[in-house]
Amino acid sequence: MRASGEWVTPIRDRAAEMFGGTADVDQWEIASMHRDHRSADGAGVRATWVRVPPDQVDQGIEYYKSSVLPRLEDLDGFCSASLLIDRASGRGVSSVTFDSLDAMERNRDQATAIKNASMQEAGAGELDDSEFELVLAHLRVPELA
């Protein structure tokens, strides 16, 4: 990752320029990665950014793996879920991929209920929540659930 920094910087800067913005670079640890199956064209992703006290990150990871992930797997059209964290700040982002944008929409209420209950149980604070169409799905990360 660090060795590729010099090579990636001009590409990242050019992309930021093309989109009329600036690039921010953060390094996140992949705390959990679970795939039921690979996504296809037209998949949807719901991402939720959270914060926990930095001294509770390990408990948050275990809670996600043991309690949140099994509930997400039961959602119709579930493809995969991941949890990335920044231990120093206590920030994390959970992304849940669905077979289609329609599947993501059909599950919105149930997924929101899971999120709200989980955040309360884990003592996490929500920073942001968004839905996206999945454009690039080529992470080569082993199962980490």
What is residue 137's predicted lDDT score, i.e. its pLDDT? 66
CA distance 109 to 30: 27
- Count: domains in the chain: 1
Residue 63's pLDDT is 94
- What is the Cα Rg of the chain in Å? 16
pLDDT recorded at residue 101: 95
- pLDDT for 11 equals 87
How many C-beta atoms lie closer than 10 Å to residue 5's C-beta? 10
Q: In what order do the strands lie in the sheet with 78-86?
A: 29-35, 78-86, 91-98, 44-51, 125-133
**Residue 141's pLDDT is what?**
63
Is 46 part of any domain?
yes
Percent of the chain residues topping a pLDDT of 90: 68
Residue 47 lies in domain: 27-133
Torsion angle of alpha carbons 132, 48, 126, 110, nearest 10°? 90
Q: At 58, which CATH number?
A: 3.30.70.100
Answer yes or no: is 17 within a domain. no
15 assigned to some structural domain: no
Looking at the domain assignment, is residue 126 inside a domain? yes
pLDDT single digits (tens) 62-95: 999 999 999 999 999 999 999 999 999 999 999 9
Do the domain assignments include residue 121? yes
Please state the pTM of the whole predicted model: 0.83
The reply to whether 143 falls in a domain is no
Low-confidence ranges of the chain (pLDDT < 50): none
Please check whether residue 16 lies inside any domain of the structure: no
Q: Which residue has the tokens 């709200």?
A: 116
In a domain, 102, yes or no: yes
